């Protein structure tokens, strides 16, 4: 009997710790604080709150699940109770929001006391005893029975989750894709986010194949035709469980982070192979990769840099200022003078926002003009771009390719007389076709535009091109 009491007391204490929440905190005026708790399916949840009143201040209470469904709401809450039963295993959020009209002066913080119970602790056994006319011992047995059932359900749920986690390699990839789609949708023109998601997916595939004893290299595409026509899902191959897969994936991702940190330095180290003494180099706007590339070459060689200002943003001015601080002879020219000056230039070195799947560029506005002038004068055009800028995107994807900003710099609002008579556009990017590019310099070396498709097959799996 004593052993049974110790066991029941231990279980009771364990459950009380997990199913009773008592908290007191202060809520500043015009602010919001939320508490989150994970609760199982078909569990009774009760709560009691007490909010100190302050002049000209109202506090709203709202309880929701992860899908945003409102379980309880109370405007201008001061003191009260709530209760609900969960329909599914979910994360529930209890939010207090303080509202006060502007200009009411300094308002003291409100003190909020919240007591929440769920499961066995939320049941009123005294009321149950009155209704069912139970004796004290019968009430305690009922409580222990409910407690035991809850503990058994918890262990059953954990066992079920353990079995499910054995087959989540494919699910993990789908979760990563889902988050990738969400992040890229926030700013479609920023392709780097999607590229990193694809790199991580490729890492998972490679580590899974290595754990299985096969090699992902056998899936490398041998031609552009295969790269474009390959398809079909291979998610069924990711259901086998490997103990060390998680650790291997994390290690590979850390290696990727190390690679990313050193991309600019690896590109800069190649500068002396492409820039020679007394050469005239032209660039446009400000690319930090090109800036580091030129500064590294300037340590041992003297050359002259001509910077096109890249109107209307005029980032070329910032580039010229930075180069001058390193004692690099620099000249700033307007974009209209690019063609006239190009005959004196030995090389054109530019950066880019994205390297497209066909070897073309999505670069800062004005780059296409620069590339055409270089092509006309047979001047080599070199693009400094780390590998994470290589994207499976094509230039015909107009929804994500174009980006327009306010045309105020092109046509100021002070020109009020003609604003209603013209349509002004200010695109941020130019498209530069691959035939205008001589060489790509990345953190893994130099490559021709025709080799981009092969690099893309090494970085991304064909099934991950569309997240």
Q: Would you state the structure tokens that stand for residue 143, as one six-digit string? A: 């409580």
Buried b (16+ CB within 10 A) or exposed e, 153-192: eeeeeeeeeeeeeeeebbebbeebbeebeeebeeebbebb
Q: Are 403 and 434 within one domain?
A: yes
Q: Are 324 and 199 within one domain?
A: no
* C-alpha distance across the termini of the chain, in Å: 61
Domain final residue pick, 221, 241, 263: 263
Q: For tokens 């005959």, what's the residue? A: 343
Contacts of 182 (CB under 8 A, 6+ apart): none
Q: For tokens 């073309």, what's the residue? A: 360
Cα–Cα distance for residue pair 246/355, rounded to 1 Å: 31
Q: Are 15 and 126 within one domain?
A: yes
Overall number of domains in the chain: 3
Cα–Cα distance for residue pair 350/281, rounded to 1 Å: 10
Cα dihedral: 244, 247, 249, 254 (round 10): -160
Q: Are 9 and 121 within one domain?
A: yes
Q: Which of 56, 92, 46, 105 is nearest to 76 (CA)?
A: 56
3-state secondary structure 325-353: CCCCEEEEECHHHHHHHHHHCCEEEECCC
Q: Would you state the structure tokens that stand for residue 35, as one six-digit string? A: 């508490």
pLDDT in tens, the chain (467 residues): 444 343 443 444 344 444 667 888 888 888 888 888 888 778 888 899 999 888 888 899 999 988 888 889 999 899 999 988 888 877 888 999 988 876 556 678 889 999 888 877 777 777 777 878 878 787 777 777 877 777 777 777 777 766 665 556 677 888 888 888 888 887 777 888 899 999 999 998 888 888 887 655 444 444 445 444 444 444 445 667 777 888 888 999 999 999 998 999 999 999 999 999 999 999 999 999 999 999 999 999 999 999 999 888 889 999 999 999 999 999 999 999 999 999 999 999 999 999 999 999 999 999 999 999 999 999 999 999 999 999 998 887 666 677 888 787 777 777 767 777 888 888 888 999 999 999 999 999 999 998 998 998 889 988 888 87
Q: Which residues sit opposite 93 in a β-bridge? A: 36, 64
Task: Say if residues 446 and 440 touch (Cβ distance below 8 Å).
Answer: yes
pLDDT digits (tens, 9 = 90+) for 345-384: 999 999 999 999 999 999 999 999 999 999 999 999 999 9
Beta-sheet strands, E only, within 108-160: 110-118
146: enclosing H helix or E strand: helix 136-165
Q: For tokens 């353990």, what's the residue? A: 162
CATH number for the domain that contains residue 118 = 2.60.120.380
Domain final residue pick, 263, 293, 320: 263
Q: How far is CA 462 from the centre of its chain?
A: 21
Q: Are 390 and 284 within one domain?
A: yes
Q: Are 270 and 343 within one domain?
A: yes
Q: How far is CA 47 from the centre of its chain?
A: 36
Q: Which of 9, 18, 13, 16 is nearest to 40 (CA)?
A: 18
Q: Are 197 and 238 within one domain?
A: yes
CATH number for the domain that contains residue 454 = 3.40.50.10470
Q: Are 19 and 51 within one domain?
A: yes
Q: Are 149 and 204 within one domain?
A: no
Q: Would you state the structure tokens that stand for residue 278, as one six-digit string? A: 């007394």
Q: For tokens 């789908």, what's the residue? A: 174
Q: Give the range of the structural domain holding residue 71, as residue numbers without chain letter.
A: 2-100+108-162
Q: Are 307 and 287 within one domain?
A: yes
Alpha carbon separation from 65 to 61, 86, 175 (Å, rounded):
14, 9, 20
Alpha carbon separation from 371 to 356, 358, 360, 436 (Å, rounded):
16, 17, 11, 6
Q: Which residues sit opposite 325 in a β-bridge? A: none
Contacts of 149 (CB under 8 A, 6+ apart): none
Task: Say if residues 377 and 166 touch (Cβ distance below 8 Å).
Answer: no
Q: Is the peptide bond before 109 cis (omega within 30 degrees of 0)?
A: no
Q: For tokens 């529930």, what's the residue? A: 92
Q: Are 300 and 352 within one domain?
A: yes
Q: Would you state the structure tokens that stand for residue 339, as one six-digit string? A: 């063609």
Q: Which of 360, 366, 301 is nearest to 333 (CA)?
A: 366
Q: Are 251 and 277 within one domain?
A: no
Cα dihedral: 316, 322, 328, 331 (round 10): 30
β-pairing, 280-284 vs 110-118, is unpaired
Q: For tokens 């001061």, what's the residue? A: 78
Domain final residue pick, 243, 263, 283: 263
Sheet holding 329-333, edge to edge: 329-333, 304-308, 280-284, 347-350, 381-384, 439-442, 445-447
């Amino acid at each position: 009997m004593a052993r049974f009491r110790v066991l029941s007391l231990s279980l009771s204490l364990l459950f009380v710790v997990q199913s009773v929440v008592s908290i007191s905190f202060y809520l500043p005026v015009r602010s919001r604080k939320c508490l989150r708790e994970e609760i199982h399916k078909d569990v009774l949840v009760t709560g009691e709150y007490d909010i100190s009143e302050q002049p000209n201040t109202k506090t709203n209470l709202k309880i929701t699940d992860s899908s945003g469904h409102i379980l309880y709401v109370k405007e201008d809450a001061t003191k009260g109770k709530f209760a609900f039963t969960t329909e599914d295993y979910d994360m529930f959020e209890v939010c207090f929001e303080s509202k006060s009209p502007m200009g009411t002066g300094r308002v003291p913080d409100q003190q909020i006391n919240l007591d929440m119970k769920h499961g066995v602790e939320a049941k009123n056994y005294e009321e149950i005893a009155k209704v069912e006319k139970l004796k004290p011992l019968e009430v305690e047995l009922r409580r222990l029975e409910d407690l035991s059932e809850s503990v058994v359900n918890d262990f059953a749920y954990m066992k079920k989750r353990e079995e499910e986690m054995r087959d989540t390699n494919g699910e993990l990839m789908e979760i990563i894709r889902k988050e990738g789609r969400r992040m890229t949708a926030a700013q479609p023109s920023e392709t780097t986010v999607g590229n990193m998601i694809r790199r991580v997916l490729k890492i998972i595939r490679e580590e899974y194949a290595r754990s299985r004893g096969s090699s992902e290299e056998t899936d490398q595409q041998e031609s552009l035709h295969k790269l474009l026509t390959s398809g079909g899902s291979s998610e069924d191959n990711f259901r086998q469980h490997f103990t060390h897969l998680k650790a291997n994936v994390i290690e590979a991702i850390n290696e990727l982070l190390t690679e990313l940190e050193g991309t600019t330095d690896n590109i800069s180290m190649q500068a002396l192979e492409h820039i020679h003494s007394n050469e005239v180099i032209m660039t446009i706007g400000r690319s930090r990769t090109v800036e580091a590339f030129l500064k590294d070459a300037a340590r041992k060689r003297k050359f002259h840099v001509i910077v096109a200002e890249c109107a209307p943003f005029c980032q070329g001015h910032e580039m010229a200022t930075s180069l001058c601080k390193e004692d690099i002879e620099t000249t700033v020219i307007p974009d209209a003078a690019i063609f006239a000056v190009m005959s004196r230039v030995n090389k054109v070195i530019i950066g880019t926002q994205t390297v497209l799947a066909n070897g073309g560029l999505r670069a800062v506005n004005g780059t296409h003009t620069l590339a055409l002038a270089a092509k006309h004068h047979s001047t080599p055009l070199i693009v400094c771009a780390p590998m994470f800028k290589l994207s499976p995107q094509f230039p015909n994807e107009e929804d994500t390719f174009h980006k327009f900003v306010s045309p105020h710099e092109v046509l100021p609002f002070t020109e009020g007389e003609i604003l209603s008579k013209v349509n002004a556009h200010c695109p941020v990017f130019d498209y530069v076709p691959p035939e205008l590019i001589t060489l790509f310099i990345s953190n893994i070396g130099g490559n021709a535009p025709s080799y981009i498709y092969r690099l893309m097959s090494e970085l991304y799996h064909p099934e991950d091109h569309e997240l």
